[in-house]
Amino acid sequence: MPPDFFSFWEMCETMNKNDPTNALKAIKLKLVGPFDVLAGKVSEVYEEDLPDFLKHWRYYYDPPEFQTVICNENSSCYHMGYFRDDPKEMPVFVASNILNPKDPEKNGELKIRGQNLFAALNSYFEELKTDPFSRMKIPQLQKTVTSWAKEKGFSLEKTSKAMEARSKKVVASTFHKAGIVVPVDKKNDVGYRELAASNSMIKKMLKGLVDSKSEEERAKYWEQLQPVITFANIANDECDFGTSLELGQDLFTYGSPLLHRSAKQLLTTAYTLLGRNEFATIIEVHLDDRRKGGNLSIL
């Protein structure tokens, strides 16, 4: 975990010595996930328990790259987490996700909050100031967080050089909006190729497939989607692993259980070929038990 994670915990200990996980209770947020380890809520983990812990606070639309650390347990399922492109690397930013009842197709979209937890929470404070019920609780909390961050040397800027460098490496926009980064050999043009259909065309296929009133109607949309899946699999054979990663993430983010089998095949293959085996394990475990709702603790 990055340095800001541990410093954030230390700050919360000063705010609520008896239960640091509830240090942000005034704004209905609590620390979860890996913070549960620091809180002593996880003592021993046996090998047979590992699959369950991979689902600990993993929300319905969280891709393997996303690790929830702060949440609001209300019906909006609002949560923040670290985003890393590779399981062996440190996170490059903190993002958030929230359900969108007015436009369900946006349920899986991630909003980049900042380069660390302090910047992310500061960004959240600014949004809360527009809520008359939360406005009065913000000034003192925000002062505590920003003062700690400045004292400990953590930037409150939303962007960083690392984030800017990553944006230049993003090979494709994805339905979740965070994009994907994969190794690309520009000299030999290997690593990624565009999908066989545009995002708008794929969304149209998926909407038709999910909304079909009969199996016969659904089969027609599967016939349209299958060549796109086949194209991505062929791309793997020619070392363009990013193609199946992009399509797999898009199918996952769309959210329908009808797409789980194809999403799992595409993503486990892509992650394995990219050497991101931990992500392959996470997506398998998640899709085998993909749960909706806001209380996703396994403790």
Segment 271-292, tens digit of pLDDT: 999 999 999 999 999 999 999 9
**Cα(65)–Cα(50) distance, rounded to whole angstroms?**
18
- DSSP-derived letter for residue 101 is T
Residue 151 and residue 179 in contact, taking contact as beta carbons nearer than 8 Å: no
**Cα(96)–Cα(187) distance, rounded to whole angstroms?**
36
Asked if the model's pLDDT at residue 73 lies above 80, the reply is: no
Q: β-strand 111-114 against 66-71: which pairing, if any?
A: unpaired
Asked if the model's pLDDT at residue 131 lies above 90, the reply is: no
C-alpha dihedral (56, 62, 67, 71), degrees to nearest 10: -70
DSSP labels for 102-146?
T-GGGTT--EEEESSHHHHHHHHHHHHTT-TTTGGGHHHHHHHHH
* Max CA separation in the chain (angstroms): 63
**Cα(173)–Cα(95) distance, rounded to whole angstroms?**
16
pLDDT of residue 129: 87
Single-letter code of the amino acid located at 232: A
> What's the whole-number average pLDDT of the chain?
96
Q: How many CB atoms lie within 10 A of CB 120?
A: 27
Rg of the chain's alpha carbons, rounded to an integer? Answer: 20
Single-letter code of the amino acid located at 287: L
Helical spans, DSSP H, in the chain: 3-15, 35-38, 50-54, 117-128, 138-152, 161-169, 199-211, 215-237, 241-254, 260-273, 277-288
Task: Give the residue with greater pLDDT, 82 vs 295.
Answer: 82
Q: What is the mean pLDDT of residues 75-93?
A: 97
Asked if the model's pLDDT at residue 49 lies above 90, the reply is: no
**Cα(75)–Cα(273) distance, rounded to whole angstroms?**
37
Tokens 């066989």 correspond to what residue?
A: 196
Residue 152 and residue 124 in contact, taking contact as beta carbons nearer than 8 Å: no
pLDDT of residue 101: 87
Instruction: Tell me the percentage of the chain whose pLDDT exceeds 70.
Output: 100
Q: What is the mean pLDDT of residues 29-40?
A: 97
**Cα(249)–Cα(4) distance, rounded to whole angstroms?**
28
Segment 220-245, tens digit of pLDDT: 999 999 999 999 999 999 999 999 99
Instruction: Tell me the percentage of the chain whose pLDDT exceeds 90.
Output: 89
Q: How many CB atoms lie within 10 A of CB 92?
A: 24
Query: Per-residue b/e over 213-228, b at no fewer than 16 CB within 10 Å?
Result: eeeeebeebbebbeeb
**Cα(142)–Cα(81) distance, rounded to whole angstroms?**
19
pLDDT of residue 134: 75
Asked if the model's pLDDT at residue 132 lies above 90, the reply is: no
Asked if the model's pLDDT at residue 46 lies above 90, the reply is: no
Asked if the model's pLDDT at residue 133 lies above 80, the reply is: no
Q: What are phi and psi of 110, to 5 degrees?
A: -100, 135
pLDDT of residue 270: 99
**Cα(172)–Cα(243) distance, rounded to whole angstroms?**
9
Asked if the model's pLDDT at residue 135 lies above 90, the reply is: no
**Cα(80)–Cα(153) distance, rounded to whole angstroms?**
21
Please, which residues have CB within 8 angstroms of residue 243's CB and are 6 or more apart in sequence?
Answer: 192, 193, 194, 195, 231, 232, 235, 236
pLDDT of residue 130: 84
Q: Which residues are catalytic?
A: 238
